Amino acid sequence: MAADDSIALTITQESDYAFRVAFDETTLPSLLADEMPPVGAGRGPDPTRLLAASIGNCLSGSLLFALRKFKNLPGTIVARVRVEHARNPQGRLRVGKIAVEITLPEAAADYAGIGRILAQFEQFCTVTESVRAGVAVEVTVKDGTGAVLHVSDASA
């Protein structure tokens, strides 16, 4: 995607706090978003969950791209995302921190260029690097043995 490309969405209220998200100019199916109880009915992911999913998906895709660039063919990558809430000075609920743990299926030694990959894959994640301007995002990468290969500072 070029820098001057744009993405268009149409978000239409269906009922109470449930909104239908349409991905304009695509053939993608729409998505129902809803606040969790007691505010909404929880019939779909809420905005915070959508943000967490976007960050986890973007980081996983960036890591996969970097691995393949070095001719690696990893098995299934799994990412777990945890959102910690915080209150701002006015007492309003905010996203305080997002922690992402990505697990690679194989041992680190099985990947060519793993050092270079881990040093730079986050920089290519459009969503994470954009969100980091306002929210701390911490990233951990583990290999298939459970060894921690990479930890980025949440304030990066």
| Closest among 86, 85, 81, 87 to 99, alpha carbons compared | 81
Q: Is residue 51 located within the same domain as residue 17? A: no
Q: Is residue 40 located within the same domain as residue 51? A: no
Q: Is residue 75 located within the same domain as residue 133? A: yes
Give the predicted TM-score (pTM) of the model.
0.88
pLDDT by residue for the chain (156 residues), tens only, comes to: 676 789 999 999 999 999 999 999 999 999 999 999 999 999 999 999 999 999 999 999 999 999 999 999 999 999 999 999 999 999 999 999 999 999 999 999 999 999 999 999 999 999 999 999 888 889 999 999 999 999 997 664
Report the run of H or E that residue 150 belongs to, with start and end: strand 148-151
What are phi and psi for residue 19, nearest 5 degrees? -125, 140
In this structure, what token pair is assigned to residue 137?
A: 């995002």
Range of the domain at 131: 47-151
Alpha helices in the chain (DSSP H): 47-69, 114-120, 126-131
> In terms of DSSP bridges, do strands 93-103 and 136-142 run parallel, antiparallel, or are they unpaired?
parallel
Q: Is residue 114 located within the same domain as residue 139? A: yes
Q: Is residue 29 located within the same domain as residue 61? A: no
Q: Is residue 88 located within the same domain as residue 14? A: no
